[in-house]
């Protein structure tokens, strides 16, 4: 082994030194696209092959070289106007023994084909659209390696409407290379996980695919989108547990089923219609419905339902909670709150379901995903429901219910943020936290309270007041905090920046999106990011309200299915898909992407 490493070090050093004087790899290889049909239907999926032809006596490294020091063969492909490409499938490697190695190396020789699946977005107008493919390859023989080349293939695909017949091209080649489109393969830059789901379904069957999706749902609990669900779940089950002894587990399960049912309906609707997942929170009636549910529950925690409240509040907050129907209905509401949980995996599932066009399969897949997302909340609900088993839960429990009532009122204010001016929201939330802390710690009395409980009361009082003060101070400091000078995104702004050769960062955001807020507060406010942003054109598309024509055009153009999604566009006007990200990333990663865009 040492001999191999030593030989390769000498070999690599020698040829890196000599490579500048050698012929580029592109002189001994050709690269071109091989289309499989003469038209591509709007809203449909398709397959595309690329041919790499290497001259006799030469070879390239495979896409997964035997040694890290060797340059892999990699394909990157991008399309216009939302034409999207999934994961790249590479040909089987050929293991070749060379004079300078004791073990064979993974290579490609002769004529090989590389495959990729693509989709045409629904509603795309018929016409010709450009596709850009770039293949990074290094050609070698038994004695020398040539400098690597970036081989390009720019071509157009013809998009037709759904009723236009299309004919097959190069059918024999596609038949022989059919295996490429079912193999698990390497992701193309910026692509989602749609092919990973397709590959699991094709190779592992439905049950293992569902397990894979369930695990993807569990992984969503590592994202900030679940934060609003935590206090709502704790307050709902903790505040009502006295009347549900022995049935908390059943209620928790129906709570999960309600969440999963709503999440699945929203997911399938978004996938089949191309609308924004989580977009229901753009609608003020939906926001007010959620606020009404939370306020109704909070009033029941304060005991006000003894004064015969309006029947719709009683139904949402009191009567139905004695049965599984109440828990299921609350789960449906929470399912709306959970919908903004988005990430590359969810985008992949949305794309896959949209491609298949099968509502039942789509509903089942999103239901399994939601079960994974909601399973931890079953245990959280059971834990919260056990709170009355603690010692002295009489008057102590009355105080706890008031605590949960204030938490639910706070969540109602949180969900009203899209309807409240930004200059008012933080001071309002801060004032509410201070009032809540003072009431719970100093005004609300509990008889026969022990020292430990008194300490907890005063501690919570201090915590609430501190949080409130922090929010109020933050509302003032945010005005002085360095920030990226975002401009309103529009087609005209994009064209103007692109025609001037400027690099663009396009942020798709919404006020109801928690990861979007985290990006604004922790990532985009980083001093390094602010400085680098002065060298580019930063644009922001606010998707808080639906139906805005300019935003809808941008969503369709960049195939946006969830927020936050951040797109990077080079000076040539083409998206750098390998830089695109969905969800929250920290400042270091964002700065690295900005530097890559500026290179």
Give all domains of the chain, ordered by start, each with its CATH number: 2-191 (2.60.40.10), 207-391 (no CATH), 487-598 (3.40.30.10)
Which helix (H) or strand (E) is 391 found in, with range?
Answer: none
Q: Whole-angstrom Cα distance, residue 1 to residue 7? A: 10
Res 192: pLDDT: 43
- Please report how the helices 344-356 and 359-385 are oriented relative to each other, as an axis angle in degrees rounded to 10: 140
Residue 444, phi then psi, degrees to nearest 5: -70, 120
| H helical segments located in 439-570 | 451-477, 491-499, 514-518, 527-533, 549-558
Which helix (H) or strand (E) is 319 found in, with range?
Answer: none
Res 20: pLDDT: 39
**515 close to 465: Cβ distance less than 8 angstroms:** no
Q: Whole-angstrom Cα distance, residue 448 to residue 275? A: 56
**582 close to 558: Cβ distance less than 8 angstroms:** no
Which helix (H) or strand (E) is 224 found in, with range?
Answer: none
Res 499: pLDDT: 87
Apex 438 CA angle, 434 and 439, nearest 5: 115
Q: What is the pTM of this model?
A: 0.52
Q: Could you list the mean pLDDT of each consecutive 10-residue stretch along the chain, which spans 599 residues?
A: 41 41 79 92 87 93 78 87 83 81 84 90 88 91 82 91 88 82 41 54 70 85 75 78 62 89 82 62 74 83 56 46 73 77 69 70 87 89 69 64 86 82 84 92 75 83 91 73 87 89 92 79 89 94 81 85 88 86 86 88
Dihedral of the CA atoms 188, 190, 192, 198 (nearest 10)?
-10
**What are the tens digits of pLDDT across the range 507-536?**
998 877 767 888 888 899 889 999 999 999
Q: Residue 449 corresponds to which tokens in the numbers above?
A: 């309270």
Burial of 360 (0-12, 13-18, 19+ CB in 10 A): exposed
Res 210: pLDDT: 85
Q: How many CA atoms lie within 13 A of 593 on its CB side?
A: 24
Q: Whole-angstrom Cα distance, residue 588 to residue 581? A: 14
Res 453: pLDDT: 76
Q: Which strands sit side by side in the sheet containing 111-119, from one edge to the other?
A: 29-35, 45-54, 111-119, 84-89
């Amino acid at each position: 082994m040492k001999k191999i490493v030593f030989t390769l070090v000498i070999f690599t050093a020698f040829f890196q030194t000599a490579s500048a004087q050698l012929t580029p790899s592109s002189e001994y290889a050709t690269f071109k696209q091989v289309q499989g049909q003469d038209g591509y239907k709007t809203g449909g999926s398709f397959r595309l092959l690329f041919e790499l032809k290497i001259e006799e006596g030469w070879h390239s490294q495979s896409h997964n070289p035997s040694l890290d020091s060797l340059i892999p063969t990699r394909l990157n492909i991008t399309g216009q106007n939302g034409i999207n490409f999934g994961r790249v499938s590479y040909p089987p490697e050929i293991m070749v023994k060379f004079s300078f190695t004791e073990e064979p190396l993974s290579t490609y020789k002769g004529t090989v084909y590389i495959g990729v699946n693509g989709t045409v977005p629904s509603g795309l107008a018929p016409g010709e659209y450009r596709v850009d493919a770039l293949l990074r390859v290094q050609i070698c023989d038994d004695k020398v390696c040539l400098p690597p080349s970036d081989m390009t293939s720019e071509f157009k695909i013809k998009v037709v409407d759904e009723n236009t017949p299309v004919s097959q091209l190069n059918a024999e080649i596609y038949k022989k290379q059919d295996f490429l489109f079912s193999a698990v393969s390497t992701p193309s830059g910026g692509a989602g996980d749609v092919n990973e789901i397709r590959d699991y379904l094709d190779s592992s069957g439905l049950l293992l695919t569902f397990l894979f999706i369930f695990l993807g749902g569990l992984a969503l609990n590592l994202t900030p989108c679940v934060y609003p669900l935590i206090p709502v779940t704790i307050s709902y089950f903790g505040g009502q547990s006295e009347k549900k002894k022995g049935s908390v587990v059943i209620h928790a399960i129906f709570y999960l089923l309600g969440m999963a049912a709503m999440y699945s309906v929203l997911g399938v609707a978004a996938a089949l219609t191309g609308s924004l997942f989580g977009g229901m929170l753009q609608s003020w009636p939906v926001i007010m419905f959620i606020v009404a549910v939370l306020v109704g529950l909070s009033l029941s925690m304060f005991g006000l339902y003894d004064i015969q409240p309006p029947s719709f509040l009683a139904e949402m907050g009191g009567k139905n909670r004695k049965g599984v129907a109440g828990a299921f209905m609350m789960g449906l509401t929470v399912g709306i709150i959970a919908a903004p949980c988005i990430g590359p995996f969810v985008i992949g599932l949305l794309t896959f379901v949209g491609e298949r066009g099968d509502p039942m399969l789509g509903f089942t897949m999103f239901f399994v995903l939601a079960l994974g997302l909601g399973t931890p909340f079953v245990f959280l609900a059971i834990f919260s429901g056990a709170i009355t088993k603690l010692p002295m839960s009489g008057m102590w429990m009355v105080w706890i219910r008031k605590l949960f009532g204030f938490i639910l009122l706070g969540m109602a204010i949180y969900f009203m943020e899209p309807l409240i001016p930004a200059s008012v929201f933080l001071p309002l939330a801060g004032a509410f936290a201070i009032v809540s802390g003072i009431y719970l710690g100093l005004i609300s009395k509990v008889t026969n309270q022990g020292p430990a409980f008194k300490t907890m009361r005063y501690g919570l009082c201090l915590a609430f007041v501190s949080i409130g003060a922090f929010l109020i101070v933050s509302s003032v400091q945010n005005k002085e905090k360095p920030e990226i000078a975002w401009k309103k995104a529009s087609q005209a702004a994009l064209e103007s920046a692109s025609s001037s050769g400027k690099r663009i960062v396009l942020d798709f955001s919404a006020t109801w999106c928690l990861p979007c807020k985290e990006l604004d507060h922790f990532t985009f406010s980083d001093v390094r990011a602010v400085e680098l942003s002065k060298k580019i054109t930063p644009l922001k598309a606010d998707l808080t309200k639906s139906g805005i024509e300019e935003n809808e055009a941008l969503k369709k153009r960049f195939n946006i299915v969830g927020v936050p999604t951040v797109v990077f566009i080079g000076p040539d006007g083409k998206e750098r898909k390998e830089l695109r990200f969905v969800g929250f990333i920290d400042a270091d990663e964002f700065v690295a992407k900005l530097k890559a865009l500026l290179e």
